[in-house]
A = this chain, B = another copy of it.
Amino acid sequence: MIFLKLVVQKYGGSSLASIERIKKITEKIVKTVKNGKKLIVVVSAMGKTTDKLVFLARRLSEKPNPRELDMLLSCGEQISAALLSIYLDRIGMKAVSLNAFQARILTTSDFNSARIKDIDDRKLRSLAFHNDVLLVTGFQGINENDELTTLGRGGSDTSAVAIAAKLGTICEIYSDVAGIYTTDPRIFPQAKKLSYITYDEMLEFSALGARVLHSRSVEIAKKYSVPIYCASSFSNEEGTWVMGKLPEWLERPVVTGATIEKNQVKVSVYSLKNSKATADVFRELAEKGFNVDMISLVSNSGDINLSFTIVESNSVDVQKAMRDLDCEIKITGGFSKVSIIGLGMKYQRGVAAKFFEVLRKKNIEPEMITTSEIKISCLVHEDKAEDLLKELCQVFGL
């Protein structure tokens, strides 16, 4: 096998939203090639293309056939791959675009939420050898019957990291966000950009709505130790490395970041007789496909007190789904979830105490609190949430 200096880069939809932006991102691509690298560029669909295609499909059917929806949606990335390739060719690069058939990105048959099973790295290596840049359609794959599948929203990150994993290279993710920040700068303008973050911390960030990286892509990166570099498509500003371990010389902060997730609904369940009844609740919800987030359960000599959160858009359906169960429920909306995340919480005590001190000082009554090894999440009324986040950022120096 010939040794190629391969790099995988991924460009998000907003970086490809217009002809001008498509031209602009090639600056980074050309620079990488001029540095002697062979490039595999994974692209998302241009701007709002996927939304527009979904909108067309919904006008024809409330629940579009999943296989056919994937046939439809996969066109978005093929259009941006071809356009980018046309421009690279125009400016003298040897560029070839590949869709999921051509790159042989094999997935499961779960239309709309397929998982990558394998990628033909020999074909990619051979094509990379003969060209400067391969443009590969993100977000999509094919199953064993050559049917098109898609990986779910944000799946292009997953495509890029999976290709990098298979080729043993790093993965650069470029978007309109210049890296990973300690918290959302729109809420807390003093938020700092992180130079490094671990996979585990990033997984909590993604799940909590930081939305810079699709969480499945981070899982794959973690599994195969793929270093991810997140940065801006249009500037040369330093971005953020997502890795397994922070560099040794780095002073490890206790709390790495804070997040806020809005539109949370709290479901409280009463009169549950035993743990079998509790299991029934979650089995019922899982079977109907609902995502349950925070779960809090306290049992006092047979008196089970269960609460969990769901997203607002599911609340009517969850109410229906639980109608057949032998329990009383109460659904209350208007909450936000505020969380702090940090690998350092594993090693340093007193973080929870500090957190409660902030709540007391701000006179905020928490509706629910859950914790993991590297995270504390707190459900509060939405009109208190931003204030809490800002105070937490102050206290933990974010």
Interface residue ranges, A against B (CB under 8 Å): 19, 22-23, 53, 56-57, 59-62, 64-65, 67-69, 71-72, 74-75, 78-79, 81-83, 85-87, 89-90, 95-97, 99, 101-102, 146-148
Rounded to whole Å, the gap between the CB of A86 and the closest CB of chain B is 5
B64 close to A86 (CB less than 8 A): yes
- Given A19-B60, A60-B19, A75-B78, A68 contacting B86 (CB threshold 8 A): yes
Closest to A102 in B: B146
A79 close to B75 (CB less than 8 A): yes
B61 close to A72 (CB less than 8 A): no
A72 close to B79 (CB less than 8 A): yes
Say how many copies of this protein the assembly contains: 2
B102 close to A87 (CB less than 8 A): no
In whole angstroms, how far apart are the Cα atoms of A195 and B85 in the complex? 48
Contacts of A89 in B (CB 8 A): 61, 64-65, 68
In whole angstroms, how far apart are the Cα atoms of A357 and B123 in the complex? 68
Rounded to whole Å, the gap between the CB of A92 and the closest CB of chain B is 11
B56 close to A83 (CB less than 8 A): yes
Contacts of A71 in B (CB 8 A): 78, 81-82, 85, 97, 99
Q: Which of B59, B74, B86, B147 contacts A65 (CB 8 A)?
A: B86
Contacts of A56 in B (CB 8 A): 19, 83
Q: Which of B61, B74, B95 contacts A90 (CB 8 A)?
A: B61
Q: Which of B57, B79, B148 contacts A86 (CB 8 A)?
A: B57
Contacts of A147 in B (CB 8 A): 102
Contacts of A61 in B (CB 8 A): 86-87, 89-90
30 interchain pairs (CB within 8 A)? A19-B59, A22-B60, A23-B60, A57-B82, A57-B86, A60-B83, A60-B86, A60-B87, A60-B90, A61-B86, A61-B87, A61-B89, A62-B90, A64-B89, A65-B89, A65-B95, A68-B86, A68-B89, A68-B96, A68-B97, A69-B82, A69-B86, A71-B81, A71-B97, A72-B83, A72-B86, A75-B78, A75-B82, A101-B101, A102-B147
Rounded to whole Å, the gap between the CB of A248 and the closest CB of chain B is 46
